[in-house]
Structure 1
């Protein structure tokens, strides 16, 4: 099936060579194929204002999609994941359980476990009641929790500041061990993802080498999780950095390969309006993995995804929904999971440009990006279809 379309944008290199569509017998594929083909082009046309007086002639595009030879299936686990930010020290999922359940999420990520929910009451003294409520709300949506093990309680640090290194690593070990035991053993929640920290390059002043070394934090935390969770079904990983930084990834691979400390997934965050930028990180990771073949099959997670890390009008408009679908088409078959940031806005608008990053406003009203996930969920038995062609 050939699809011809005219576009003045110069971003032809971003046109996907594989399209995510649903192979549904007896139904016309043309509207869906057309939508998926133009998603990246539409997104980037929004990103850049094109002066149509320059080179206005354009070139007719000739894009051919092979519907007869679908590629591998694309699991819905790629996009059915959410990451809730620490907008306020409250259970932000509870008021929107019904709306979130409708998205069929598989994992919901939360951070600020120890500085928001008053778990740590002193050495060996823990109160999980508030955190229990957050976990129960996640489970009520049908999802499993991803627990971002963060941040060090202020009373545990020499500086008396949250997220700084602990005075005594044994105290941190005991807190994390008790947390893993609480949820993986006592509450018997199977399939928890434990992510060591949230954005260590931003919170706590951690580094991939030298003082305040993240690998020390990872080793201490992972050891505590293993000892606390025992034989339960769970996964451990990190480093959940603010963006893909190769030195952090290499440092973690090297230290865990040498020490034998468990590492089930590698994670980072990505914010960009250009879906093609996400592929550059994937390509760089593959180069690193050539030096660490033991991690070649490791899960690759982008645990925060969005068009902009700063407040942006895109989050309140249709561009954000188009962006999410375009990112999915780019990363299908390359990344195991992406986590949309975030389910719910905070209580106050982030700026005069946007109410926040949420799929839902703080008063539970859905934004356009919310509806992108049900759309993707309708792509049952989604497959990658090869395509060829070019044009401007």
Structure 2
């Protein structure tokens, strides 16, 4: 036996290595087979039963994130896009860099911390002008209290608590009488920005606990939420660390993470895993937030085109059936790099005002398609591999059906059989608004409670059908 092992160790090692790699290679092979053969493709055949409801619409898209896209010669503001964003019905706008980007904290000649809220107040005012509430990522470390740069420890943990308490006091109590429902998130991508970990010398548990305890100690506030950790992805180790290592008396109102991927299933998998892990660890309901997301973590031409817009709709459709409470697409407005033009592949749904009139990119138009989706959710069946959808009826009995055609290659076209049943007979006005820009307005007569037609969806296209009985 020893001679056999000595003689054949290379072969045995290769076999063992292949066995270990099976969990990785099999999914990759399955995906390759899917793309090469279309073997797993299922066409859509959509049926909407107007007589059957399935709860209320879950508007996970009502949050949106904004990066710190400051120009060198001006304070960072959102005032020039507020009126454009407001009709979407956005409820929360997330901002970060609040301590290092808005010149809030300094140290006075007496050695005490001093606060100047002017610049931060301005952007909070821009957010409320949109009809939204602020979602404030408490980041990064103010240089006035840091041991080094904005990603370092504070010199004194008590001063980090003071800064957080002052911020909560400002926006949940003092600013215009306090804003009801502000959400505070402790740090932004701590695993990347600062190398914080769940344990060790640079322990996020300490960063979070100090902030949460300080916030919870502020008196006279309007209701608010605090949580974290806003990691670069969904990492199970951070779930166990967050809930198993924190003292049970430390306040946690939500768990958050980021996700950038072209695969819709990744977003659903994160939500499912988070739900399963938290069920055994929490004693009260917790919100789940994806506080940044997109098709790619890097800037790129995709963000200027329709593929990313179809992805935006497909992800939001998928997350409606998850336990995600809000998913904050990144971001509202582009930056403006000095060497780039108006459309430069920025993450924004809108172009930067630096280039003149603000332009709506396809992702913003997709957001506008979601804006009227509300009320009762109607039963929709027959979704396919690439074409998915949602159907609703609002308080005015207007029926809306959103269908999106998204695949990772951005090349799939499909003609979708579409049937509505359980309708009241009569004449209906029908409007079809396509992501690609086409608009079709017609009238149809429904007899026998059924309406049928075929809908042609080109690659990365979507349609919002609106039906109103005359």
TM range (shorter): 0.7 to 0.9
* Deviates most, 81-90 or 316-325: 81-90
Distance 1:133 1:287, change over 3 A: same
1:368 paired residue number: 362
Select which of 375, 386, 410 maps to 1:381. 375
Unaligned runs of 5+ in 2: 1-30, 387-470
Match of 1:27 in 2: none
1:236 matched to which residue of 2?
226
Q: Is the 8 A contact 1:271 1:306 kept in 2?
A: yes
1:344 aligns to 2:333 (yes or no) = yes
Question: CA shift at 1:388, angstroms?
Answer: 5.0
Residues 150-208 of structure 1, C-alpha deviations (whole Å, 9 max, x = no match): 0101232222x112110101111111111111111112111100011100001112111
Asked if the contact 1:350/1:356 (under 8 Å) is kept, the reply is no
Higher normalized contact order (CA 8 Å, seq sep 6+, divided by chain length): 1
1:86-105 → structure 2 map (5 Å cutoff): 86-88=68-70, 90-105=75-90
Instruction: Select 2:52's aligned residue among 69, 87, 94.
Output: 69
| CA separation of 1:383 and 1:166: change in aligned 2, threshold 3 A | same
Q: Answer whether contact 1:355 1:361 (CA < 8 A) is retained.
A: no
1:263-286 superposed Cα distances (whole Å, 9 cap, x missing partner): 111110111111111111112112
Equivalent in 241, 245, 251 of residue 255 of structure 1: 245
- Return the alpha-carbon distance in structure 2 between the equivalents of residues 244 and 57 of structure 1: 30
Give the drift of 1:389.
7.3
Range that drifts further, 367-376 or 279-288: 279-288
Q: Does 1:290 align with 2:272?
A: no
Name the CA shift for 1:100/1:169 in 2 (closer, same or farther; >3 Å): same
More strand per residue: 1 or 2? 2
- TM-score w.r.t. the length of structure 2 is 0.67
Moved more, 214-223 or 87-96: 87-96
Structure 2 counterpart of 1:12? none
Distance 1:60 1:168 in 2: 59
For residues 108-150 of structure 1, what are the alpha-carbon distances to aligned partners after superposition, in whole Å with 9 as ceiling and x for unaligned?
A: 0011111011111113211111111111111111000001000
**1:117 counterpart residue number:** 102
- Tell me how far apart the structure 2 counterparts of residues 193 and 350 of structure 1 sit (CA, whole Å): 36
Note the 1:10-49 alignment, pairs <5 A: none
Aligned position for 2:308: 320
Q: CA deviation at 1:228?
A: 2.6
Alpha-carbon separation, structure 2, partners of 1:207 and 1:321? 34
User: Match of 2:218, SS?
Assistant: helix
Cα distance in structure 1, aligned partners of 2:163 and 2:38? 63
* 1:92–1:344 contact (8 Å) kept in structure 2: no
Q: How many residues align?
A: 340
Q: 1:208 to 1:56 in 2, by over 3 A?
A: closer
Instruction: Indicate conservation of the 8 Å contact 2:302/2:345, yes or no.
Output: no
Q: Secondary structure at the match of 1:131?
A: helix
Contact 1:349 1:356 in 2 (8 A): no
Contact 1:239/1:266 (<8 A) preserved:
yes
Which secondary structure does the structure 1 equivalent of 2:52 belong to? coil
When the two chains are superposed, the root-mean-square deviation of aligned CA atoms in Å is: 2.7
For 1:299-314, list aligned pairs within 5 A. Answer: 299-314=287-302
Cα shift at 1:287: 2.5
Any gaps of 5 or more consecutive residues in structure 1?
1-46
Question: Counterparts of 1:349 and 1:56 in 2: how far apart (Å)?
Answer: 44
Report the CA distance between 1:73 and its aligned residue: 1.6
Give the direction of change, closer, same or farther, for the CA distance of 1:229–1:190 in structure 2 (3 Å limit): farther
Q: Is 1:208 aligned to residue 198 of structure 2?
A: yes
Give CA-to-partner distance per residue, 1:306-346, whole Å, 9 cap, x none: 10110122110011211111011111132110111000011
Contact 2:188 / 2:230 at 8 angstroms: preserved in 1? yes
- Partner of 2:81, secondary structure, is helix
> If the length of structure 1 is used for normalisation, what is the TM-score?
0.80
Contact 1:145 1:192 in 2 (8 A): yes
